[in-house]
Homo-oligomer: A and B are copies of this chain.
Amino acid sequence: MLTFTPGPTEVPLRVLGAMLREPQNPDLDESFAEFYEGLCEKLRRIMRTRGDIIVHSGEAIMGLEAAVLSLVEPGEKVLTMTSGVYGDGFIDFVKAYGGVPVEVRVDYDDVVSPEEVDRALGREGDIRVATLVHCETPSGTLNPLREIGKVCRENDVVLVVDAVSSVGGVPVEVDGWGVDVCIVGSQKCLSAPPGLGIMSISKRAWEKIEERRGNGFYLNLLTWRDWWFEKGVFPYTHSVSLLYALDEACSMLLEEGLENVFRRHRLVAKAAREWVKAMGLKLFPRKEEYCSDTVTAVEAPKGLNEEELRRRLKEKYGVMIAGSWGKLAGRVFRLGHMGYNAQPGKLLQVLLALSLCLLDMEFPSKTWEAMSAAEDVLYRSE
Contact = CB atoms under 8 A, between A and B. Distances in A.
A195 B242 contact: yes
Nearest to A63: B218
Interface string A8-48: 10110100110111111111110000000000000000000
Contact of A218 (B21, B24, B61, B242): B61
A233 to B, nearest CB: 10
Contacts of A22: 3, 10-11, 16
Contact of A194 (B28, B185, B240): B240
Assign chain A's interface to a size class. 35 or more
A220 to B, nearest CB: 9
B240 A23 contact: no
Contacts of A26: 8, 194
Contacts of A237: 7-8, 59-60, 185, 187, 194
A366 interface: no
A8 to B, nearest CB: 6
A287 B363 CA distance: 77
The residue among A20, A23, A28 with the most chain B CB atoms within 10 A of its own CB is A23
A200 interface: no
A247 B179 CA distance: 39
A239 interface: yes
A290 interface: no
Contact of A93 (B8, B217, B236): B217
Contacts of A65: 216-218
Contacts of A58: 57-58, 62, 218
Nearest to A164: B237
Interface string A205-232: 0000000000111110000000000000
Contacts of A194: 23, 26, 57, 237-241
A241 B241 CA distance: 9
Contacts of A5: 25, 27-28
A166 to B, nearest CB: 16
23 contacts: A3-B22, A3-B23, A7-B237, A8-B240, A11-B22, A13-B20, A16-B20, A17-B20, A19-B20, A20-B20, A28-B320, A29-B320, A57-B58, A57-B194, A59-B236, A61-B218, A65-B217, A92-B217, A96-B215, A193-B239, A194-B237, A194-B239, A239-B239
Q: Identify the 9 closest CB pairs spanning chains A and B, nearest first.
A: A195-B239, A193-B241, A59-B236, A58-B58, A19-B19, A194-B237, A62-B218, A61-B236, A5-B25
